[in-house]
Structure 1
């Protein structure tokens, strides 16, 4: 583990190397180290397969989000959201507002990924027009999306944590509010203080950008139909893959109606390589992106990270970590701290948010029962240190997705995504204060 983090830290942070190469280097060393420790090649390859398997559905979702972004850009859905946002959003309160918007959308559809890849892209474009640095805007988008994910009954991570802990979903959400809401309020206050554009706001420039978007795209309410389709399907609990496909197909239909002379080959090129605006003005950079090829770098990083994670699990590194921590759980506060640290550790080692919930949850569940602590505190800890922290790991599935979709270096947005730091921290603090006091009082 020490070797792994030294290699990753030095090559990624100091030498600014793309994470794929350091991960493959660690994977190679670990593979031969396992062979010297008498693991067979077949055993280690089986571990690699088991590690990659949980990532197959996220990889498909990544590809479909590439399609969604490309079609929403081409159809004018993103442009419509941006033009509306330019006229109704306040520059002074922009960051707190987008945190709240992403939080509400996340609660409605139960997916941080979908929130980031839909309204998040439009809000990032508005932030660029308003003069906000992209990493700061992305930090607010990510914070809001993961807050909404935490508080949504439709969230896959909320349902996963409650099923592992054996807790009623709505009891979990009520308990989650005790950490998530204070973390959200503190985040909003922070964004109030840091949410000032780095450059002087030019109202004429903002109006010009709005006019250019309206001139290049047929901005109208019916272009919001793809977003409405996604929201409705997510609300009625249709899985992510058909939901994203429906949103993309709706946008393609709008594009075909508005551009009847475009060939099928051109539509196929947009789906594969993304939409690229060529208007010759400042909107070109904002209104270009998406496509399957735009997600391939992220997918290669996921494959490298999950392959390494599967090898670490097969060789017993992750279990050794958790079993060592299990010796330090004699009190409620320590138990919550160690459960949280285990989730964080699995995130750093494996990079997969589901495994960072499943492995610590399975290991520490009996410890919560032995100490007589309500399992809702276990489910809350798993959600905060598993799902939330995954957004802060550059080689984690969430971190890779955010960087690939929004086009921002993870090391730039991670320090500015305050909510994923605050929620686990408040969970640990409450573990040593309220939870410890409560169970000490009960004897």
Structure 2
């Protein structure tokens, strides 16, 4: 390993050129392509940084390689967690865990405290699925329809959905952003959540209080939403959601919460939950082992005939996480080069 005290420090202009190349590349990509698909941007930024350091700073390639390895080492545990989250999500869906949350979450929404229950429902859904975007695109769509039927402003309903979804994402041990930030900062994932909670929980409590006062303006009416009724019917026809089965299907989620409170290793927690969910899916929901292996690798697949339900349930899988895993390795490799070369 290279002695850091003997590493020749790059000049200020060289450091600025390397960082500016990355910034300009990002901006050009967003302007030209309009999407944050930055894998090759990070790749070329790493190549540019390496070339500039070798040519103008006489940096040895061994040191650059050491930086890449250092970055990948930081990323490894977080990337493994992300991959196993991909395995766990379709197991939860097949076991009925996520369908149960959706089904009973929608049934429990009260018109008298609609904004509060909407925010809490989205928070719980995201906490258990790790995806704020998925919650907003599914629960959010259904809740917008309900809110419109109750005469509630679309802006208020959207605020409730977004607040709940973002809160759940920040608190979820299976959120990709939570795992990436913990891995990048080299801290335990549960310590990361605990730190974020000091600001996020008080903020969410204040938000709920505001929604309570807003709900007082819309304390009448009944929920009549064809979209919600269709979702409930589709879920009950494709999954066994009787109360006893619903309780059993929540075991994988409860396991995650218990093991998280006991500070069990996040990797082990996710694997245990995934395996338990797989057996529940096989025993209670009557899936075959070969089907579960396919779902856990490539993602859960079902055609219910309802677009909103399919959009929420057709997801997950080990392979679905490779986009995030690869960007994590590329980004941290780039950071490792900058760190080790000074």
Shared fold per TM-score greater than 0.5? yes
Kindly indicate whether the alpha-carbon contact (under 8 Å) linking 2:26 and 2:41 is maintained by their aligned counterparts in 1.
yes
Provide the C-alpha distance between the structure 1 equivalents of 2:82 and 2:189, rounded to a whole number of angstroms: 17
Query: 3-state SS of the aligned residue for 2:314?
Result: coil
Shift of 1:266: 2.0
Query: Residue 276 of structure 1: SS of its match in structure 2?
Result: coil
User: Which residue in 2 is equivalent to 1:72?
Assistant: 92
Q: Per-residue deviation at 1:68?
A: 0.9
- Aligned residue for 1:92, secondary structure, equals helix
The change in CA–CA distance for 1:138 and 1:10 in structure 2 (over 3 A counts) is farther
Q: Does the 8 Å CA contact 1:95/1:192 hold for their aligned counterparts?
A: no
Conservation of the 8 A alpha-carbon contact between 1:147 and 1:184: no
What is the number of residues matched between the two proteins? 284
Partner of 2:116: 93
Match of 1:311 in 2: 337
Q: What's the CA shift for 1:187?
A: 5.2
Equivalence for 2:304: 279
Alignment of 1:32-431 (within 5 A): 32-36=51-55, 37-90=57-110, 91-94=114-117, 96-98=119-121, 101=124, 115-117=128-130, 125-131=138-144, 137=161, 140-146=164-170, 156=188, 159=191, 177=198, 183-184=203-204, 203-219=225-241, 220-260=246-286, 262-282=287-307, 283-316=309-342
Structure 2 contact 127–168 (Cα < 8 Å) conserved: no
Cα contact 1:116–1:142 (8 A) shared by 2: no
Q: Displacement of 1:229 after TM fit?
A: 1.5
Shift of 1:94: 4.9
The CA RMSD over aligned residues, in Å, is 3.7
* Structure number with higher relative contact order (C-alpha < 8 Å, ≥ 6 residues apart): 2
Alpha-carbon separation, structure 2, partners of 1:120 and 1:248: 22
> Aligned pair 1:10/2:23, yes or no?
no
Distance across 1 between alignment mates of 2:212 and 2:133 = 19
How far apart are the structure 1 equivalents of 2:202 and 2:254?
30
Indicate conservation of the 8 Å contact 2:119/2:164, yes or no: yes
- 1:22 correspondence with 2:41: yes
* Alpha carbons 2:86, 2:318 under 8 Å: kept: yes
Q: Which runs of 5+ in 1 are unaligned?
A: 103-112, 162-168, 196-200, 317-443
Q: Contact conserved, 1:47 with 1:314, CA < 8 A, in 2?
A: yes
Rate the CA distance shift 1:24–1:190 in 2: closer, same or farther, 3 A: farther
Deviation string for 1:48-73 (max 9, x for gaps)?
A: 11011111001110111001111111
SS in 2 for 1:131: helix
Contact preservation (8 Å) 1:274, 1:289: yes
Greater displacement, 122-131 / 37-46:
122-131
Q: Is the 8 A contact 1:124 1:138 kept in 2?
A: no
* SS state at 2:34 partner: coil
TM-score (norm 2): 0.71
CA contact (8 A) 1:62 1:299 kept: yes
The question of whether the paired residues in 2 share the 8 Å contact of 1:59 and 1:299 is answered with yes
Q: Normalised by the size of structure 1, how large is the TM-score?
A: 0.56
CA shift for structure 1 position 125: 3.5
**Alpha-carbon spacing, 1:269–1:144, altered in 2? closer, same or farther (3 Å):** closer
CA 257–182 in structure 1, closer or farther in 2 if over 3 Å, else same: closer
Please state whether the residue corresponding to 1:93 is helix, strand or coil: helix
CA distance in 2, matches of 1:187, 1:268: 41
